[in-house]
Structure 1
Amino acid sequence: MNVRRRLISTTALAAAATLGAVTLSACSGSSGAAGSKEDGKLDVVASFYPMQFLAERIGGDHVTVNTLTKPGVEPHDLELKASQIRELGRADYILYLKGLQPAVDEAIQQAGVEHTVDAATLTELEEHGTATGDDHGHEEAGHEEPGHEHGEGEAGADPHIWLDPVKYTEVAKGVGASLEKADPDHAADYRKNTAELVKKLDALHGKFDQGLKNTTTRTFITTHSAFGYLAERYKLDQEGISGLDPESEPSPARIKELRDTAKREKVTTVFFETLASDKTAKTLAGDTGLRTDVLDPLEGITDKSKGTDYIEVMESNLAALRKALGAK
């Protein structure tokens, strides 16, 4: 995956180790059960919004959730402060997605908290993304497989599992089970909250499945190749301007390919996202006479988001896809 690898600075790690040594030593050996804090709540640290949403919905009144990636910050670019690294060491429970944020991965490994859950282990990751120009002969012949994408980036494990409601449901179930283990006194509530969330995610999947079943075109163009799982689930073709890294620049050859694809596949819209520049999307749209619209990869909720939580923004994404694809 061609994502910028931002490493935590040696200075920050050293400072965290010095300032938080006592805390880390005390916490790493604890069971992490609720009641260890004065308010009796489980102290949860989530790496970024999709993990925060699960922790809050499933944890309910029994957890206090802090998020390392604040609203408006591009998760791939996150650099942790010493205070955030210390916060990790004090947590009862950590929920993150390995492979998305290298700085977070390194800090979590050093924190040594017993109840640390990697969401990537709760479902199966797949490879989305190809090297530039790969397999275009099949594309021209009309033999491209649904869900296949092209982009500027090497093939690798795609971390964007939360954009597929089915995979996100699998992760939710795993998070629920892990919270039961971390805080057995409230296991019944975690099971109940998990079941309620799973029901909502199943309903969301049903809306996508029915809403995207009959469309004029199956192809959509997006600046950030984050929608490989979604495209595969609902038999769509994602064409990414950039690869899995939202900040990578497309080559002139790639832009030409996209223009040809847009014409051939009757594409109407170039999608961009809320946390990255829309310059390339607007340039491509202007050159090809296409519209632009937002397809939110849901890496964070801000005042620009078309919804207040995961469910609402995903429903907004569905509406945007239906319009762009000519859903019937």
Structure 2
Amino acid sequence: MQRNKKYAGRFIAVLALAMLLVLSACGRNSAGTIVEGKVNVVTTFYPIYEFASAIGGEDANVINLLPTGVEPHDWTPRGQDIVNTSKAQLFFYNGAGLEGWVPDFLKGLDAGSKVKAVEVSKGVDLILTTEDDGHNHGAAEEGHHHEGEEHSEEGHAEESVDAKHTDPHTWVSPKSALIMAQNIRDSLIEADPEHKAGYEERYAALSGKLKELDTEFTEKLSAVPNKEIVVSHQAFGYLARDYGLKQHAIMGLSPDAEPRAQDMLNLAKLVKEEGIRYIFFEELVSDKLAKTLAGEAGVETLVLNPVEGLTQQQAKDGDDYFSLMRNNLQNLLLALQ
């Protein structure tokens, strides 16, 4: 018992140091400008921007609010973002609790604005979890809890089991991304019926790529012998649910939700007991906690990208949703053999 207390104390000290190094939001860049004569679309973060740009093509001017290299969970808009959105025809946001600032943002738009706000995750079978993200993101009424995600339960007895929170990371599964793309297509056609044929044609190309990606994930992950993954933050619930995996997260639904030391101890024990060989981390937030856990458990780290945004280098290299998701698949196959 004394040895366990001493180990826990040392682990808490390492954990505290790691938390100090968790990445905060990076600097901002200009979001873009309104273009006359086109459908102007404002998107809240990268995956929606990519899908809207692909479907909109030359008929739409798509402005992304979130700058390159910035993690979206705690980002908030500026005055210029309100100006641009007030002049746009469409405002695409993920919903499902990701962008907690949206209601106040929409109230702040110019009184004469005719922009239509569209929650692009509408229609996705949302995952509800009792795990909070530390910021009350995704707070939801009590409802059915879908499987496909796991976070250390021990040490949480003081929390109400009735407190449900929506997992907002819908786009991380190609199956959900396809629904999001359909919502974007329908909204563009409604706003600009004159260019319906172009939107339909470009959507067909995008949906074909998403279906191909879905097939790759389905076939390859169904063949792996192991199904347990340990990730830095709880962003892979939809991926896990749709492709037969089980995620264990160091942090909650937000990547800066502080983990409990007991959770870290439980995860280190799980990693050893299950023979898990890799701890996954992501590029837009610090890898310190993942490396801390990996060091304690005697395993290695790999990237698993929630595709919330591009790093500066990824943008320079021409990476996109599909290249990042295929990198994810390759790393999952390596870790789960």
Same fold (TM over 0.5): yes
SS in 1 for 2:334: helix
In structure 2, what residue type is equivalent to 1:279? K
1:86 paired residue number: 83
1:171 paired residue number: 180
Identity over the aligned pairs, expressed in percent? 37
2:203 paired residue number: 194
Question: Equivalents in 2 of 1:312, 1:176: separation in Å?
Answer: 22
Q: List gaps (5 residues or longer) in structure 2.
A: 1-33, 134-145, 154-158
TM-score between both structures, scaled by the size of structure 2: 0.78
* Equivalenced residues, count: 278
- Cα deviation, residue 58, structure 1: 0.5
Question: What does 1:26-175 align with in structure 2 at a 5 Å threshold?
Answer: 38=36, 40-98=37-95, 99-111=97-109, 113-128=114-129, 130=131, 147-150=148-151, 155-175=164-184
Distance 1:49 1:131, change over 3 A: closer
Question: Equivalents in 2 of 1:232, 1:44: separation in Å?
Answer: 31
Question: Equivalents in 2 of 1:188, 1:271: separation in Å?
Answer: 42
Distance 1:307 1:232, change over 3 A: farther
Runs of 4+ residues over 3 Å off in structure 1: 128-132, 151-155, 303-307
SS in 2 for 1:94: strand
Question: Equivalents in 2 of 1:157, 1:113: separation in Å?
Answer: 29
Aligned counterpart in structure 2 of residue 183 of structure 1, from 177, 182, 192: 192
- Cα deviation, residue 97, structure 1: 1.4
RMSD: 2.1
In structure 2, what residue type is equivalent to 1:104? V
1:212 paired residue number: 221
Question: Equivalents in 1 of 2:52, 2:129: separation in Å?
Answer: 27
SS in 1 for 2:251: coil
Q: List gaps (5 residues or longer) in structure 1.
A: 1-35, 133-144
- Cα deviation, residue 110, structure 1: 3.7
Aligned counterpart in structure 2 of residue 250 of structure 1, from 239, 259, 265: 259
Deviations 1:157-200 (CA, angstroms, capped at 9, x unpaired) = 11111001011101111211111000000011111111111110
Deviations 1:41-84 (CA, angstroms, capped at 9, x unpaired) = 11110000011011101001111111110111111121221111
In structure 1, what residue type is equivalent to 2:283? T
Aligned counterpart in structure 1 of residue 323 of structure 2, from 277, 299, 312: 312
Range with bigger deviation, 60-69 or 111-120: 111-120
Distance 1:125 1:110, change over 3 A: farther
Question: Equivalents in 1 of 2:130, 2:327: separation in Å?
Answer: 25
Question: Equivalents in 2 of 1:317, 1:262: separation in Å?
Answer: 20
Matched-pair contact (CA < 8 Å) for 1:150–1:238? yes
SS in 1 for 2:73: helix
